[in-house]
Structure 1
Amino acid sequence: MDRPDRTSGVQQPGLLQWFAGLPCLVAALVLAVVFAVSWSDLPDPMAVHFDGGGDVNRSASPVAVLLIAELTLLALGAGLSRGAVRGSLALRTLYATSAAAAVSLGYLFTVLVLANAGAGTADEVRMPLWHLAVAAGLAVGAAGGVRLLVSRERPAAADESAVSGSVGLRPRERAMWVRSVGPQWLIAAGVVGAAAAVVAGTLGWAPGLWLWPLGLVFAMMAGARVSVHGDGLTIRPPLLRVPRIHIPLQRIDRAWAAEVRPLSDLGGWGYRIAKGRRGLALRSGQAVWLELDDGRQFVVAVGDAATAAGLLGDLLARDARRDR
């Protein structure tokens, strides 16, 4: 069974993880109420796309707009909840991303409905593009507020693990340790930026229709997800399964936690290959060091490295007992 009390990154879904997407789900509910109240006053078709002066240049059925808006919010909320359960990002970052997306997208969709309400035809509707600036400001405020309210994750006895070299994994227990590395606010900004670009393109900012992939690429490349499990150590982008770096447990002779200085230990920041050593270091500080079966070393700079090294040590000891 998983032992969240022994490894701080073990994937043990709880209410906090499942609720990471709740702000988006609340926004979808509020928007549904706004649609229901305004439905009889909406023109058919309703205005959905506006030029730089705020004048309508495209319309669509209210049913289509409702479905697109609701599916966007619900899918984003479900994706963020799944990301929290899988440990793709820190819980604070996921809550901040969810709040920013819910507030900004909810605002834009609600303003769109209210602007159409009471209009005889779609041509009568106007929606100034300063609403996009308001939505961006609300997103920043919501994300900042949530990050202040949600406490940081508490490291689990890192010093004790560093001394003992073990997390106390028992013979038949399974555990997984997961941490994200890199500036997580950049990942969140990429996700929110991609969603905002789609909405902006819908409302009239034409570049938004092709800028959204840049936001997703930005989010995928802004950091990495490091995990330790029964198969060894794996590093991959936070939102994708590939590309990845995998060090099988069978190739690891020893694991320990120590400081890493990217410039002197690896020759620079990022993924580096040096003489007898390779690794990933987006910052200096705590790191998991591995001694491999070919005599080379692998290092990854990551928080709570002592717990990761301790879990790898327990897994290696278990394999050694099986081979006797």
Structure 2
Amino acid sequence: MSAQDAPPIGEARTTAIPGASAAASEGLTSYRVLYITWRVLLYAVLTLVGATMLLPLLWMISTSLKEPGEVLLLPPKWISIPPQWGNYPRLFDVLPFDLFLINSIKIAVFATVGALLSCSMAAFAFARMRFPGKNVIFAIILATIMIPFHVTLIPLFKLYRDIGWLSTHLPLTVPFFFGTAFGIFLMRQFYLTIPQEMVEAARIDGCSFIQIYYRIFLPLSKPGLATLGIFTFLGSWNNLMGPLIFLTKVETMTITLGLTLLTNQSGGRWELIQAGAVISILPIVVMFFIGQEHFIQGIARTGIKG
């Protein structure tokens, strides 16, 4: 080979392999077909699972719009023609469900406000402040999560009876103003994601811990507060054991206790029972759709996994 035929310095000699380009293109096409097929199957399975989970909800709504003789038909009748919208106002004639809704909303709102205030402050102390026995106290608080509610039910009943709180909403709201173990843990995990440098900069500027709490941590913790608020509101709204034990007067009952009372008094009127169930879930659905963005962010940042 002469010097003129030699390749320039730094350039590699390449030799085309016959069929290599066609084989690579065929392999890429096969991969794309396999990937698309896998995604289609995955979405089909997820759609099927989602539809299966929606069936009870759809059946509940369908039953609430049926006549009494159509509820237990075989084969089942999904849609009543015409829909019996009168089941909903008839429900309020049987029992004062409007009062039950007001009681449930009042209890859930007060419980949520109390939990947000107390848990956010306690969590800030455990996350950013230093004091003797902090880790021990936090461990004791977490240990209370393992204590079943039924273990403390009788002592709480005797306590509330002695101080005159039975048949009032105080046993269902006041304890939340002293914090909950889950709420403190949730907010503490969220506060730990906030950089320590922000706290140190605020301390250099002369801010106290109270100022750091409401000027820095509260504005940054909206997703965590939304998550805790939804959990607390949902738990208070669906609570049956507490109202069943502490509330004995009809005018103080909640929506869950009202549904139980309706089941016992309606004589198997399933269309009315399901209409009450539909009404009971509407505030929860509305609240979740309003705060779902912050709720999902809060779950992701606090490290809670399903």
Q: TM tier, shorter chain?
A: under 0.3
What TM-score do the two structures reach when normalised by structure 2? Answer: 0.23
Q: TM-score, normalised by structure 1?
A: 0.22
Greater gyration radius: 2
Higher normalized contact order (CA 8 Å, seq sep 6+, divided by chain length): 2
Structure with greater helix share of residues? 2
